[in-house]
Copies of this chain bind each other. A is one copy, B any other.
Amino acid sequence: MYRVGIDLGGTNIAAGVVRDDGVIMCKDSVPTQRERTYREIIKDMATLTMEVVKKSGVGIENIKSIGVGSPGTPDCKDGVIVYNNNLNFRNVPIRAIMQEYIDLPVYVDNDANCAALAESVAGAAKGTGSSVTITLGTGIGSGIIIDGKAYSGFNCAGAELGHTVIIYDGEQCTCGRKGCWEVYASATALIRQTKRAAEQNPDSAINSLVEGDMSKIDAKTAFDAAKMGDQIGQNVVNQYIRYIGEGIINVINIFMPEVLVIGGGVCKEGEFLLKPLRDIVKEGVYSKEEIPQTQIKTAQMGNDAGIVGAAMLQI
């Protein structure tokens, strides 16, 4: 059987016909044009669905369900997006409107849960029952897979691993709390930490890499400086990896997933990131007995994660 996965983003709506094993048979996308009403956006989602199904040659009778991954707070039970600022969604009944156009089960969840589901079905955590996927981006996205399903609590609003305090009374987080993991371990945090180090150490390679223009510092700069042998860059990288590590140890002590998947641009650093991270985690996890331990891997699904994960949604 096949399912349709829809990745609703602020810029594009992408949809694909996905085989049970997570292979995309056919996909396409249209601009979201988010200034429109939600009815118009959802109508486009339905149209795009019919088009990719047609193009795939699979036949609508072989499509089991449609899944929609959206940013925001979902009400998975009713197939609603309760709240999303970016799309200006308030209690948008995605399932109900989609079903005005297509008579199929429609499941709705947020994009972080879809990303985790995609890794679980076809990516870095393939073949496991339990995994946690952490995406280090603007913030920290996170999805928890238990028994093959995305877990986010009785109201679908959990799985906010980025909003767990690791530094009591630490730096201000956008969520209102102080010291959340996201404030220290997101890509945004790394850029902030790199800028601070560059300002305090004008002679560091960080400064020369960006020719003194702090606005050019990105999440790669400190890693690049460190690889050039720059101690300031190395210090930033070491500290950043420790912040990631402390949060990951917390996650492992809680969930003991078979695989912990890390996504986001920083994963391109490969073993330069993973080797020290694995050492920190091995040293810190609570259970050091002779039992199997969580494996740490980098995300594999890339841009297809949204479509594949959404397709795999089910009650």
| Chain A positions near chain B (C-beta within 8 angstroms) | 73, 75, 82-83, 128-130, 144, 146, 151-161, 163-168, 170, 175-177, 243, 246, 249-250, 252-258, 283-284, 286-287, 289-294
Whether the pair B254, A160 counts as a contact (CB closer than 8 A) is yes
Most B Cβ at <10 Å: residue of A156, A243, A291: A291
A250: nearest chain-B partner, CB-CB: B164
Shortest distance from the beta carbon of A172 to any chain B beta carbon, whole Å: 13
In the bound assembly, the distance between CA atoms of A3 and B298 in angstroms comes to 44
Query: Which one of A157, A284, A291 has the greatest number of beta carbons of chain B within 10 Å?
Result: A157
Q: Are A128 and B154 in contact (CB under 8 A)?
A: yes
Taking A83-B289, A146-B151, A164-B164 as known contacts, 4 extra A-B pairs with beta carbons closer than 8 A to each other, sorted by chain A number, are A128-B154, A153-B294, A157-B287, A157-B289
Nearest chain B CB to A203 CB, angstrom units: 28
Which residues does chain B contribute within 8 Å of A165, judged by CB atoms?
166, 246, 249-250
Complex contacts, A284 vs chain B, CB 8 Å: 176-177
The residue of chain B having its C-beta at the shortest distance from the C-beta of A284 within the complex is B177
In the bound complex, do residue A153 and residue B255 qualify as a contact, i.e. CB atoms below 8 Å apart? yes
Q: A146-B146, A291-B75 are in contact. Are A130 and B154 (CB under 8 A)?
A: yes
Q: Are A154 and B258 in contact (CB under 8 A)?
A: yes
Task: Decide: A160 near B286, CB < 8 A? Known: A153-B255, A291-B75.
Answer: yes
**Interface residue from B129, B156, B159, B291 paired with A254 (Cβ < 8 Å):** B159
**When chains A and B are docked, how far (Å) is the Cα of A249 from the Cα of B257?**
22
* Secondary structure of the A contact surface, majority rule: loop
A161 contact from B152, B168, B254, Cβ within 8 A: B254
A101 CB → nearest B CB, Å: 27
What are 13 A-B contacts with C-beta separation under 8 Å? A73-B289, A130-B154, A153-B256, A156-B256, A157-B289, A160-B287, A161-B254, A164-B253, A164-B254, A165-B166, A168-B243, A177-B284, A254-B254
Q: Which residues of B contact A73 (CB under 8 A)?
A: 287, 289, 291
* A254 adjacent to B158 (CB under 8 Å): yes
Say yes or no: B82 contacts A290, CB within 8 Å.
yes
Answer whether A246 and B168 are a contact pair too, CB < 8 Å, given A82-B289, A253-B158, A291-B82: yes
Specify which of B158, B160, B249, B258 is in contact with A177 (CB 8 Å cutoff).
B249
Bound: A160/B82 CA distance, A = 32
Cα A164 to Cα B251 with chains together (Å): 8
Q: Which B residues touch A256, using CB under 8 A? A: 152-159
A152: B residues at CB distance < 8 A: 256
Chain B residues with CB under 8 Å of A160's CB are 253-254, 286-287
Find chain B residues with CB under 8 A from A243 CB.
168
B255 and A158 contact, CB distance less than 8 A: yes
Q: Is the beta-carbon distance between B164 and A167 smaller than 8 angstroms?
A: no
In the complex, A246 Cα to B163 Cα: how many Å?
11
